[in-house]
Structure 1
Amino acid sequence: MSYWVQSVERRITAPADRIYALIADPVRHKDFDGSGTLVEAVEVSSSVRPLGAGDWFSMTMDFHGKYTMTSTVVEAVPGERFAWQCKPHAHSSKWRFIFGGRIWRYELESDGDTTLVRETWDLREERLRMLVVVGRRQVRVAMRRTLDRIAALLEAE
């Protein structure tokens, strides 16, 4: 793990394809968001699920005020890896030229009965990473909560 890349992982008793289906559907992100900042998906480029590389989605967020982030899927390997890159929504943010570029990534390693899920917060392409990185401790806590919520959703089924 580097200064600009933070990861947490957890083993979940669910097959990788079920976990992938959940994380690759942005409408479901509010169901497992551990940060408490995600309000809802407001636009999704495709009705096909799971989303694929190049698809995008916009989320209403609330962190000291509401704003919208638009994310583009940058990695989509079913059952293995799903990632998106966030930027402020072009029509709703005066910060769109300052912030943006962080990547959220999920990697899945299945052994049949369980799946190791790794969530990563990658700031290497974030425009103002020096400002954003100060929250990395809180982000790690939120990522752990997210993995706990994913487990609770899928292990209960």
Structure 2
Amino acid sequence: MSDRIVSATRDIAAPADTIFELIADPARQPEWDGNDNLAIAAPGQRVHAVGDVFRMTTTQGKDRDNHIVEFEEGRRIAWKPSAVGEPQPGHLWRWELVPNDDGGTRVTHTYDWSQLTDEARFQRAQWTTSERLMGSIDRLATAAEGH
């Protein structure tokens, strides 16, 4: 199952709170999505707690509900996507932020599909590599460091 959990880590020269705002506000996510999978999310869906759900439209025009399953303000956020009104198929996206002594932040992005049950999604899941996750971190860094 370890091949079904991929991650990437990088230090970003921006405070954790700045970076976290870009992640926790779904309307900002298409700016830094390295998978080019996210098209748009309505404003006003900023995540605040486990149990929150935000809706995102993919570049393929499909709406996805993203169920927050882990949340610590400024430090950790994770969600499980699903088709609107459908059960969650079991994959998870996680962001972890650890402030550095220099005012920057160590950012780890993880995609975990070890609990994915829909075999039709396996090929797409395998496509999500640590390099693609790093693409999101790199774009997130550009957005955060510009603030």
Query: TM-score range with shorter-chain normalisation?
Result: 0.7 to 0.9
For residues 107 and 37 of structure 1, the distance between their equivalents in structure 2, rounded to whole angstroms, comes to 21
Deviation beyond 4 Å, 4+ runs, structure 1? none
Question: 8 Å contact 1:4–1:133 — kept in the other structure?
Answer: no
Q: 1:61 to 1:123 in 2, by over 3 A?
A: same
SS in 1 for 2:122: helix
CA contact (8 A) 1:82 1:107 kept: yes
TM-score where L is the length of structure 2 = 0.86
Residue in structure 2 matched with residue 142 of structure 1 by the alignment: 132
Shift of 1:134: 6.0
Larger mean Cα displacement after TM superposition, 106-115 or 136-145: 136-145
1:83 matches 2:78: yes
Alignment gaps of 5+ in structure 1: 91-95
Partner SS for 2:49: coil
- CA RMSD in angstroms comes to 2.3
Query: Paired residue for 2:8?
Result: 8
Of 89, 92, 95, the residue aligned with 1:106 is 95
CA–CA distance in 2 between the matches of 1:103 and 1:146? 15
Alignment partner of 1:132 out of 105, 122, 133: 122
TM-score, normalisation: structure 1: 0.81
Aligned positions, number: 146
CA distance in 1, matches of 2:8, 2:143: 18
Identity of aligned residues (%): 31
Is the contact between residue 26 and residue 46 of structure 2 (CA under 8 Å) also seen in structure 1? Answer: no
Q: Residues 41 and 60 of structure 1 are in contact (CA less than 8 Å); yes or no, is this contact kept in structure 2?
A: yes
Write the deviation string for residues 113-150 of structure 1: whole angstroms up to 9, x where unpaired: 21110000011222225852564354433211110111
Q: Determine the structure 1 residue equivalent to 2:105.
A: 115
Which residue in 1 is equivalent to 2:49?
52
> In terms of mean alpha carbon deviation, does 139-148 or 25-34 score higher?
139-148
